[in-house]
Every structure is written in C-alpha cells, then in structure tokens.
Structure 1
Amino acid sequence: MNKSLVLNVVRQEGPISRAQVAKKTNITRATVSDIVNDLIADGAIYEGGEDNSPVGRKGILLNYNASLGFGVGVDIGGTKISFGLFDVNAELLATKTVETYKVVTNDIFISLLADSIREFIAENNRDLTSLQVIGIATPGIVDYKKGIVVEGSPNLPGWENLNLSARITEHLGVPVVLENDVRAALVGEVWKGQCQNVQSAILLAVGTGIGSALLMDGNIIRGFGNAAGEIGYMLFEREQLHMNWDNKGCFESLASGSGLAARMKGEGEQTAEQTETAADIFVAAKRGDAVAKRLVEEFTDYLSIAILNLVSVVNPEKILLMGGLSNAAEDYLPRINENIKKHTFSRTSVEVTVSEIKDLAPLYGISILALRIVQPTVQFLKDIKLV
C-alpha cells in the first residue's frame, strides 16, 4: 500500500522531492527513501531536476516514468477502426484511422487487426517488445472480465461468442482488455473530457446505431448480463410491444442514422431531395423539405423522450452526445434541451451537450481500462469504480 501511495503521489504531483512525498503521504522519510529506491530499480520513477526550495538542503526531484512502456488502444466500428498509441500515464501519443476490413470471417478480420497493430507500432518507431497491453473497444455486449464479445455488431463478421482478447493475445503475446465502445468512451470522458470530477453521467452514442453508457454515483454500470445501456431497444408506445423490429430495436429503428435513412426511404417519392443517408436528411430539412423536416422533428422528440426517461432513473449531472449524428446537433439540440427543461424540475434538470473529445473518447477510455490490468497500483480515476 505504501509503495502504491508513493508511486501515485509522484505521478500526480511530480516532479517532487522525497521530503515532499513524505509530507504528503505521512510516511517516514526513511521508508519513503527505501520505496523510492525500489521504484527507481523497477523503472517506474526516475530522478531528474533539482529542488529549488529556498530553505534546507536541495534534493533531487522524482519523476514518473511515463515512457516505461506503451500500449495500443483500438476502437472498432462498422465503417472505421481507430488506433491510439498511449504511454503508461494514459496519454495518447499517436492516432491512426483505417476503413473497417470488408472480410467474411472473424479469423481473417483478427489476423488483419493484428497486422494493423504491428504496422501502427512500427510507424511510430516503437519496439514491439515494449508493448505492455492492448485495449479494444467494440460494439455489442461485452463480458469485460472474460474478454468475450457476447453479442456483437451485424457489421462485423462472426462477432458473437467471440473470445477476442484471447485471439489477439495469440497473435501479439500481450494481455488484451475488451470493453463495449460506448462504455469505453464514457471512461474516456471521465479521464479527459467533460465528465472529469463528475459522479453521475450519461453518454449517448447516436450514429448508425444507438447506445448509451451510464455512470451512477461513481460506478460504471454494466448490468447483470453486461447489457446495461442498450437503449436501442427502448419502447415508447403500447402498440410497439406487438411490432417486429427485426432485432434492431424500436428506438434504434426510429432514431438512429440507419433507422432515419430507412424511414425516409419508406416515404417513397414524397421528397425531391437526395436523401440516402441521415446526413442528407438533415441537409434536406434545413433546405425546407417538408418530409425531411418532419422526420428530423420526430427523431428529436424520440431522443428527447429517451433522455427524459433516463434522467428519471439516473438523475445525471452530465449528459453528452457523441457519434455521427452528433455532428448535426445544432439542428436538434435546442429543441431537446427545451423539451428536457419543460419536463424536469430543479433537482433533475440537466443540459445535453456534445462531446468535445469525440472520437478520442473511446481510445482514452480503453487506455485507462487496459492500464489498470498491467499497472494495478496506479490510480488514474481514484473516485470512480470501473468494475
């Protein structure tokens, strides 16, 4: 415990002297000195710089060694895959994005993913032998502890009952941590985004599909079957109980990017605009197309209802939007916040905003989740329970 305490003080407060460490930890100077010597031998900290205190004997300052090793974070999506190189202080050093591999089996996909990770490491002039851990954020229901994709995305091949962690470890020989992409993004928001120093928050991912992640009273919520936050299956009316949503889910069919595009297609020839994608629909609505405008308003109101239902359950301090449709938030966010204001009171009122770190959120989050496995004594989010 003392070693962990000293290491975290050096990481959070450094450069710092031994005397200052002793004062902040209430550990004797002799014990601090012994611990520091061990940590220097481990390579976890190093000496560098001089204490400029005007009184007393000048000491050599202690620094956290963020370059002791590195990890790679991966955010897998239906259309793109993002890679992030991070140090042991969970800082992103480099990023890269490629198109999602169009292959028919998960064997080929995993082999290509391993090759891409090796290539990414080489491009950044790193030695594979210094790779400590890999973190992967993926769509679907994920068993975080076992590293298994229980139920995955239809856009990825064979992405069900897949022991992705073990398969990637076979290729690259390091531990692999797996997490749902939206949940990883919420951890990233807590680490580097708008949810820093927040105890209760909701992150809504509104893109091709719809998902959410929940932080309640300092706890990242996964649920009994690791399926907490699967709001794409939310219902709004009694009649919807008897409708077939083709495994997509009612809310996702009504308000996701793919659902919005499908609904517009169902309107047939009633619109003269080119509206093959959700982005096209928002553009058409801005230009005054009546059908597109109506669908955008319905999308906004369904999203408002879902958010209000979540607010009633979670009472969050922050609600953030991310995903492809958040890029058009200026077209619908004022109406959402107006709806929320109308149906909440002083203790539940909350403003919905758009993520500022956006696509970096899942990379930051998966780096934190990965490092806690190989650096368990380091406290990155001391007031947040991740498991």
Structure 2
Amino acid sequence: MAVLCLDIGGTEIKAMLKGENFEKNLENFPSKAGSNAPSIKDDVFDLVRKLENEYEIEGIAISTAGMVDYKTGIIAGHGPTFKNYKGFDWKSEIKKELGLEAVVENDVKAAAMGELTYGAGKGATSAFVLTVGTGIGGALIIDGKIHRGASGHAGEIGYMPFETDKFEALGSTSALVARAKKFHPEKNFKNGKEIFTAIDAQDEDAIKLVNQMTDILARGISNIMLIANPEMILIGGGISEQKEKFLDPIIEKIKSYVPEDIFESTRIRPTELGNKSGLYGAYAIYRQNTNE
C-alpha cells in the first residue's frame, strides 16, 4: 500500500509514492495553476490511474500553495500565481472520481511537519519552522501536531508588523534584493546568491545589506521564541544554506535579544529536506489522520 504525495506549486507539481518502508520519487510535472488551477485534478487523476497498474494506492496526500481550510480541505484563498483555485475541494473531487481518501494542507505547514517528522526536527515535539524566500512563511508545531489557532492560520509571521513595514517586506530574500537594486543600482546584485558571493570579495555594500537582513530576521525569530518557546527553530529557503554569512550571525544576534535560558533551550538549525519537505509533511499528516 502506498500514498501518492503531491506538492502543488504555481509552476510545477512534485510527486512521490510513499509507504512506511517504501519510497519512490516520481517525475515532476507542469502545474496548470496559472491558467485554471482546478484543471490540475485531471493530471492528478491520470497519474493515479497510471500508477494503479503497478501499485496499490491507499490515498492521496496534498501539500499546496494557498490558504487551506483545515477542517474541510477546501482552498480558502490563493496568491496571484493561481487562477480560480479558491473554493476548490480536493477531497470531494478525489473521493468522487477515484474513491480514495485524501488530506490537503498548506505547503508551509506541510513542510514544517515534514521537517519535524523526517528532517532536521526529528525527535523534537515542538518547533517553529520558517521559510525565507520571496516572502516569509511559518508554522508552529506543538506536541507533534500543527498548531492552527482560532482562524486556522497560526504561524503567518510574514505579516508581523515592524516599525516601517511587515516582517516579510523587510526580512525576505526579495526584500534584500530590492534594497540592493535601490541603493546600489550600479552593482550586479540581481539575486541573493550574487549578494552573498560579493561578501566573499569583501564588498562592504553587500556586507551591510546582509547585516541588515540578519538583524531583522533575528528580531522576528526572537519574538517567536519569546512567545512560543519551542524546542527548535528551523529556517528554510535556499538562503539558509549560507551558514557562516547568514545563519551564524542570526543566532549570535538572537543571543542578545532573548533571555539566556530561552536561548540555551532552543536549537536553531537550517532545514534538511529541501524541496521535498512538503511531500514528506503531507505523508506525515495523512498518517496522523488515518491513525486517529
């Protein structure tokens, strides 16, 4: 028995078959989100029928961009890269067409569960996982389960207000690049990678830009630690791989923002699963639901 795990993004869909002692990576396929997101279901149904020739499919676990009503699995909202997605009911469509059970979760929350179950947070019971990229997303895990809050959207730290703007508008990778282009248009700072490469060449402007970013992130993460006091803070996104230039400075700054006992009790690490975290998390959530 295997679960088909899907991670639905705006440009492509990742797929994996997984069981307790079985795992098979499947080929990614293009996402139709930008033209008509509900039509993604046709590709999913075709994939299931193809796989059923060789595997016994137990159910489907979906990690998806957008806001998900965790009680119903219905898409409650989405960004501009998706079209006609709000109100789409994956669980009903899958049950009606394939007769299979399904779980549906927001991609950031699924990624957090993936890291806690199979990745950098394995063994911990509480963690806050944040992703730093185009924006800043987050999810809080308590006692091994996603903490959802009254509206179901706890962990949306990108909206956290700072003095001049929201957290993600100041501390994300896209904010870093925007500042670089605004204040140093003469330099080739087209993306985060180029800015970090410039640090290796002792470029003072690049050093200052990243120092500002790590200070903003350290302040935001310190607030999370003070409120939730989790065992672990896990930081994801491609930029988290920059340990000495990015992660280490954040940790050092956090030390000056929070009490010593809180700092000492919290492990701060990069995520481990990369772009497969959502797949693993969707599977973990499926298992939680079926074992309850």
Output the TM-score relative to the length of structure 1: 0.68
Q: From 41, 44, 55, give the equivalent of 1:110.
A: 41
Is the alpha carbon distance of 1:157 and 1:294 closer, same or farther for their aligned partners in structure 2, counting shifts above 3 Å? Answer: farther
Aligned to 1:209: 135
Secondary structure, in 3 states, of the residue corresponding to 2:87? strand
Shift of 1:297: 1.6
Is the alpha carbon distance of 1:151 and 1:292 closer, same or farther for their aligned partners in structure 2, counting shifts above 3 Å? Answer: farther
Q: From 68, 85, 103, give the equivalent of 1:159.
A: 85
Would the aligned equivalents of 1:207 and 1:325 in 2 still touch at CA under 8 Å?
yes
Shift of 1:233: 0.7
Would the aligned equivalents of 1:77 and 1:100 in 2 still touch at CA under 8 Å?
yes
Would the aligned equivalents of 1:193 and 1:357 in 2 still touch at CA under 8 Å?
yes
Q: From 336, 350, 358, give the equivalent of 2:250.
A: 336
Would the aligned equivalents of 1:260 and 1:295 in 2 still touch at CA under 8 Å?
yes
Would the aligned equivalents of 1:136 and 1:366 in 2 still touch at CA under 8 Å?
yes
Is the alpha carbon distance of 1:257 and 1:347 closer, same or farther for their aligned partners in structure 2, counting shifts above 3 Å? Answer: same
Aligned to 2:54: 126
Secondary structure, in 3 states, of the residue corresponding to 1:104? helix
Aligned to 1:137: 63
Structure possessing the higher relative contact order (Cα contacts under 8 Å, 6 or more residues apart): 2
Unpaired segments ≥5 residues, structure 2: none
1:335-373 Cα offsets, whole Å, 9 max, x none, are 111011222234201242112223332212211222344
Q: Give the Cα separation in 2 of the matches to 1:213 and 1:336.
A: 19
Structure whose CA Rg is larger:
1
Letter in 2 for 1:109: I
Shift of 1:169: 4.0
Shift of 1:284: 3.0
Letter in 2 for 1:70: A
Secondary structure, in 3 states, of the residue corresponding to 1:312? helix
Q: Give the Cα separation in 2 of the matches to 1:116 and 1:328.
A: 37
Q: From 267, 272, 284, give the equivalent of 2:187.
A: 272
Indicate the RMSD between aligned Cα atoms, in angstroms: 2.5
Secondary structure, in 3 states, of the residue corresponding to 2:291? coil
After superposition, residues 357-372 of structure 1 pair within 5 angstroms as 357-372=273-288
Q: From 289, 304, 313, give the equivalent of 2:227.
A: 313
Shift of 1:276: 2.4
Secondary structure, in 3 states, of the residue corresponding to 1:161? coil
Shift of 1:148: 1.2
Q: Give the Cα separation in 2 of the matches to 1:101 and 1:289.
A: 42
Q: From 239, 246, 263, give the equivalent of 1:325.
A: 239
After superposition, residues 284-299 of structure 1 pair within 5 angstroms as 284-299=198-213
1:219-275 Cα offsets, whole Å, 9 max, x none, are 4201111111111111121x44xxxxxxxxx22222223333333333362x322x3
